[in-house]
Amino acid sequence: MIIAIDGPAASGKSTVAKAVARRLGVRHLDTGAMYRAVAWLALEGEVPLGDAVVLTALAEANPVTFEYEEGEAIATSVRIAGRDVTAEIRYPVVDANVSAVAAVPGVRAALVCQQRILAEARDMVAEGRDIGTVVFPSAEVKVFLTASPEERARRRRIDLANQGHEVGQDEVQQRLEKRDTHDSTREASPLEAAADAEILDTTGLSVEQVVDEIVRRAEAAR
């Protein structure tokens, strides 16, 4: 069974998807981490982010891998090109550049292919932007999470502060809006809810409430 969780940046996807995966005892797949890893590799190699051909070749030649401890739902590390990039892919420089990389159709095709292989013959909670629409259109459960821009900026600012990056609320909100506009207006698989996805606005809801609702749907679909 595939549980697809899509939504904009800082909508609560990661927290919710990880908790759902733990509750159901199935692996969590963070597809955003894969776009971030390719963006990190491009930045590291000083690849011009406007060069779709080179970016596509980079994504095709360097599969992203996740390490899971025995029986664990959540990956402990993300690797690309022989490097552990678990921390680096969360740096603000990656935040600022990942949308450009994720807009390249060839990069998307390479990563979608890797995502389908990672979910072969296993249950999975996959989170991203195009899981219910493109990667797993026949997922048994599809949820699209949203939250108000203010709430999302508040959550992202706290995440960044916890990682030692102090950024003001307004600046965080502007950056998020810029990334959302980029992700929603790109031609290749723009961020949008699948027609058959349940749209859940998490503003004012606790993580528990959202997780309970998704687990209930997953159990009903089993």
Pick one of 31, 146, 173, 202: the residue that binds ligand DC (CB under 6 A).
Answer: 31
Rounded least distance, CB 58 to ligand DC, Å: 15
- Here's the x/- map for ligand DC, 34-53, by CB under 6 A: it reads as -xx-----------------
Rounded least distance, CB 179 to ligand DC, Å: 5
Rounded least distance, CB 84 to ligand DC, Å: 17
Pick one of 26, 128, 143, 156: the residue that binds ligand DC (CB under 6 A).
Answer: 128
Determine the interface stretch with ligand DC among 57-65, 123-131, 138-146, 162-170 (rule: CB under 6 A): 123-131
Helices (H), the chain: 13-24, 31-44, 52-61, 92-102, 105-118, 149-162, 169-185, 207-221
Distances (CA, A) of 12 to 19, 93, 102, 207: 11, 21, 20, 8
Q: Does 130 bind ligand DC (CB under 6 A)?
A: yes
Nearer to ligand DC, 32 or 63 (CB): 32
Angle (nearest 5°) at CA 190 between 161 and 187: 125
Q: Does 132 bind ligand DC (CB under 6 A)?
A: no
Rounded least distance, CB 166 to ligand DC, Å: 19
Q: Does 32 bind ligand DC (CB under 6 A)?
A: yes
Instruction: Encode 97-127: b = buried (16+ Cβ within 10 Å), e = exposed.
Output: bbbbbbbbebbbebbbebbeebbeeebbbbb
Integer Cα distance of 55 and 133 in angstroms: 23
Looking at the DSSP bridge assignments, the partners of residue 84 are 79
CB atoms within 10 A of CB 15: 17
Q: Does 129 bind ligand DC (CB under 6 A)?
A: yes
Torsion angle of C-alpha atoms 143, 131, 72, 122, degrees rounded to 10 = 110
Residues within window 170-199 making contact with ligand DC, judged by CB under 6 A: 179, 183
Q: Strands 65-67 and 77-80, how do they pair?
A: antiparallel
Q: Does 152 bind ligand DC (CB under 6 A)?
A: no
Residues within window 77-106 making contact with ligand DC, judged by CB under 6 A: 98-99, 102
Positions that interact with ligand DC (CB under 6 A): 9, 31-32, 35-36, 98-99, 102, 128-130, 179, 183
